[in-house]
Amino acid sequence: MGKLTGKTAFVTGGSRGIGAAIVKRLAEEGAHVIFTHSGRSPHKADEVVAAARINGNRMKAVQADSARTEELLRALQLTVDDFGGLDILVSNAGVATLKPITEFTLEEYDHTMDVNVKAVFVASRFAAEKMNAGGRIITIGSNMADRPGAAGATVYGMSKSALSGLTKALSHDLGPRNIAAVLIQPGPVNTDMNPVDSEWAPALISETTLGRYGNVNEIAGLVAYLSGDESQYITGSTITIDGGFNV
């Protein structure tokens, strides 16, 4: 019996990178998991479903663009209808366009905010209405909200900073129902979007006190802990997991 046996989790952006690791770890802990993917690489979503179907737990991948509210809400409602409820929400999907603010278009701004902020609000509002007592709302942000580190992150940093205020306020709204809200801020993590063998990786590594990139399983392990009973007294918090990058 896993720590999350019988629980139902919904994860946005679960077909690769940190999201895929979260889906697999929650499944290993016994949760039923439904996750969204953009549809650009459906075979990756299928691979995650196959890898995370463990000990009879239910798995489902749903194509949904987090920038499109109607698609996100459809996927969330499918969770309640098909899986019978919602206990854990992990808003993981995010986009990053890094460029000087003078080159940032309004269309790029809108897309960044739609995915990184509006989608988190939409999913959290749905969870606030539908989630079972004792549920968890976990959001994946970025340590760049506190320390951009370099030029070009104005809009990205702003979008991730908004998640702290949302998380703190949610803890007040949902505390009486024993629903916790927590923000995780990863630092440099080895994914296909930010590979450890990239040209910029040495500079990022040199900024960490541990002298290395993080790996996706370290983020997933923190999500699993925050989803379980041992973390019941944690809410409204921002937890930075960045190898000392922001120290």
Q: Which of 156, 213, 225, 233 is catalytic?
A: 156
Is 156 assigned a catalytic role?
A: yes
Supply the DSSP string of the chain, one letter for each residue. Answer: --TTTT-EEEESS-SSHHHHHHHHHHHHTT-EEEEEE-SS-HHHHHHHHHHH--TT--EEEEE--TT-HHHHHHHHHHHHHHHS--SEEEE---------GGG--HHHHHHHHIIIIIHHHHHHHHHHHHPPTT-EEEEE--GGGT---STT-HHHHHHHHHHHHHHHHHHHHHGGGT-EEEEEEE-SB-SSSS-TTSTTHHHHHHHSSS-S-B-HHHHHHHHHHHHSGGGTT--SEEEEESTTTT-
How many degrees, rounded to 5, is the angle at CA 139 between CA 76 and CA 104?
Answer: 100
Residues in the chain, overall count: 247
Burial per residue of 118-132, b for 16 or more beta-carbon CB atoms within 10 angstroms, e otherwise:
bbbebbbebbbeebb
Task: Point out the residues that are catalytic.
Answer: 156
